[in-house]
């Protein structure tokens, strides 16, 4: 049952801490999202945006084997003008390659790009329209970041079950039960909290990406 779950490993610990730091920094700015219902209403638009991302994925899947290897990812970053060192590219690749098959699947690719979006925020140019040359997709990534910021009410970089329940109770609608069920799916290590990467992987399932892409 452990297959496909993220693993705690030394090669990702530095990157994981950078992601946490970036999330907390972003949380200090607040969010325009005020309810879980607002997030759920955005699902169709997020789904549409994810599907447009498939064109990017297929373009950089140069050998057309259904996944992006590290060489192809480097080409992708060059095209998107994302400046990462070789070590950083390797770290983010390993962080998003959940099953260690040395290939990034489509849903893993979405998560990877969203993490890049978060990590590449430049405080000196926060009004810049595009960080990666894909402004439409970046708007979706910002929605995902804002959704996480909304759910993490104590701004510690993790969403706890109690925070999720509080957000659900505020909606007073049955859709909240769906969100609670999804929390259980997000919390892979069953420690009662969900980090941003876990949240992103769950979101690809929330809008149906993973189900549609699996054979």
pTM comes to: 0.83
Domains of the chain: 10-27+35-206 (1.10.238.10)
CB 157 within 8 A of CB 27: yes
Return the closest-CA partner of residue 91 out of 116, 68, 114, 72: 116
Query: For 182-201, how does the pLDDT look when each residue is reduced to its tens digit (9 = 90+)?
Result: 677 777 667 778 999 989 98
Tens of pLDDT, residues 68-109:
999 999 999 999 888 889 999 999 999 999 877 889 999 999
């Amino acid at each position: 049952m452990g297959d496909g779950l993220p693993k705690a490993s030394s090669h990702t610990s530095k990157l994981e801490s950078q992601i946490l730091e970036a999330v907390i920094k972003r949380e200090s700015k607040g969010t325009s999202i005020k309810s879980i219902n607002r997030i759920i209403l955005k699902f169709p638009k997020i789904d549409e945006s994810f599907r447009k991302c498939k064109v990017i994925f297929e373009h950089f899947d140069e050998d057309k084997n259904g996944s992006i290897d590290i060489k192809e990812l480097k080409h992708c970053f060059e095209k998107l003008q994302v400046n990462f060192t070789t070590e950083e590219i390797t770290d983010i690749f390993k962080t998003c390659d959940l099953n260690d098959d040395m290939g990034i699947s489509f849903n893993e690719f979405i998560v990877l790009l969203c993490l890049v979006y978060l990590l590449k925020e430049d405080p000196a140019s926060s009004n810049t329209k595009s960080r990666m040359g894909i402004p439409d997709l970046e708007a979706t990534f910002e929605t995902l970041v804002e959704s996480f910021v909304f759910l993490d009410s104590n701004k510690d970089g993790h969403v706890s079950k109690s925070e999720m329940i509080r957000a659900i109770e505020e909606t007073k609608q049955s859709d909240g039960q769906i969100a609670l069920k999804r929390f259980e799916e997000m919390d892979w290590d069953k420690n009662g909290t969900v980090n941003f990467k876990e949240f992103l992987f769950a979101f690809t399932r929330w809008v149906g990406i993973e189900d549609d892409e699996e054979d």
